[in-house]
Chain A
Amino acid sequence: MAATAYEAQKGMLPGDQMLRRRYLVGRWLRYLALAIVVVLALVLLIPIIWMLLGSFKIQRVALAYPPELIPSNPVLDNWERLLIGRPSMRWLFNSLVVAGGIAIFGVITSTFAGYAFGKKDFPGRTIFFWMILMTMMLPRQIYIIPLFVLMKSLGWFNSYQGMIAPYIVYPFGVFLMRQYMQSIPDELLEAAKMDGASELQLFRHMIVPLSRPAIGAIAIFAFMAGWNDYLWQLVLATDELWLTLPVGVAKLTASGVGSIDIGVSMAGATFAVVPMLLIFLLFQNYFIKGITVGALKG
Chain B
Amino acid sequence: MLQRFAASVWKGRWAYFFIAPAMIPFAIFTVYPLAQGLLLSFYKAGVNRDKWTYIGIKNYTNLLTRDPVFPTAIKNTFLFVLGVVPAAMVICLFVAVLIYPLSQRKQTFFRAAFYMPVVSAGVVLAMVWVYIYSQEYGLLNYLFESLGLLDLLNDGEKIGWLAQTNTALLSLAIVVLSWSLGQPLILFLAGLGAIPEPLYDAAKIDGANSWQSFWKITLPLLRPTMLFVLVVLTIAVFQVFVVVQLMTLGGPANATQTIVYRIWVTGIVGSKFGYGSAMAVVLLSIVSVVAIVQFKLLDRQLT
Which A residues form the contact surface with B (CB < 8 A)? Answer: 15, 18-19, 22, 26, 30, 33-34, 37, 40-48, 50-51, 54, 62-67, 108-110, 112-113, 115-117, 120-123, 125, 128, 131-132, 134-135, 137-150, 165-166, 168-169, 174, 199, 203, 224, 227-228, 230-231, 235, 246-247, 249-250, 252-254, 260, 262, 265-266, 268-269, 272-273, 276-277, 280, 284, 287-288, 291-292, 294-297
Contact = CB atoms under 8 A, between A and B. Distances in A.
A273 B120 contact: yes
Contact of B287 (A33, A34, A113, A139): A139
Interface in B1-21: 5, 8-9, 11-12, 14-21
Given A50-B131, A132-B22, A273 B112 contact: no
A112 B23 CA distance: 11
B132 A277 contact: no
Given A120-B14, A139-B235, A150-B32, 12 more contacts: A40-B91, A51-B131, A65-B137, A141-B264, A144-B267, A230-B242, A235-B264, A247-B123, A277-B116, A288-B186, A295-B190, A297-B301
Interface of B: 5, 8-9, 11-12, 14-23, 25-26, 29-34, 36-37, 40, 91, 94-95, 98-99, 108-117, 119-132, 136-139, 142, 145, 178, 181, 183, 186-187, 190-191, 194, 207, 209-210, 224-225, 228-229, 231, 235, 238-239, 241-242, 245-246, 260, 263-264, 267-268, 273, 276-277, 280-281, 283-284, 287-288, 291, 295, 301
A190 B251 CA distance: 61
A219 to B, nearest CB: 15
Contacts of A62: 131, 137
Given A141-B239, A230-B241, A149 B273 contact: yes
B183 to A, nearest CB: 6
Which of A44, A45, A132, A265 is packed against the most chain B CB atoms within 10 Å?
Answer: A44
Contact of B25 (A137, A169, A288, A292): A169
Contact of B37 (A143, A228, A277, A288): A143
Contacts of A109: 21-22, 25
Nearest to A106: B22
B30 A47 contact: no
Given A120-B18, A169-B30, A295-B190, A249 B127 contact: yes
A169 B22 contact: yes
